Amino acid sequence: MQDHENDDLEQYLREFQPRSIRRLVVPNQAALPSRARVEDPWLRALTMAAMVVLAGSFALWYGARQTGTPPESAAIQGTRPGEMRPARRISTVALTKLALEDSEAFDALLAGESQTMFPGMQGSRSALRVLAKP
């Protein structure tokens, strides 16, 4: 039964003949709609320049925007290690500037952030004490 079905399929496929490939016809530029063609190359260059300026200005604005928090050095000096404080967001540009200008303050900021961000490992309510109970 299976051989009979294969023979029928092969017979059916033999009926198809390959065709020669036609030559590709490219439509004339004048035949395109007016909104699809750009007649002036200066207009295209001006449009691309405007897009680059817009993207660059957006990137600069996003990178330099202020987060509304006090300067990092004042925040570092006023914070004690065990003190809990509300979460704040410091921009990447400000962190980079702090790291380049004052590496000790940057290290202190990261140490303070890690103490407030991660659960405490000391004290009666530490995460390790909960795991160590039998």
Query: Token pair of 11, please?
Result: 């017979």
How do residues 28-67 score in pLDDT, each as one tens digit? 766 656 555 556 888 989 999 999 999 999 999 988 886 6
| Closest C-alpha among 71, 70, 132, 80 to residue 108 | 80
The two structure tokens encoding residue 46: 């001006």
DSSP 102: -
Query: By C-alpha distance, which of 86, 89, 107 is closest to 98?
Result: 107
Q: Most confidently modeled of 7-16, 23-32, 112-121, 123-132?
A: 7-16
Pair 98, 109: CB distance under 8 Å = yes
**Would you say 100 and 69 are in contact if contact means Cβ atoms under 8 Å apart?**
no
pTM higher than 0.75, yes or no? no
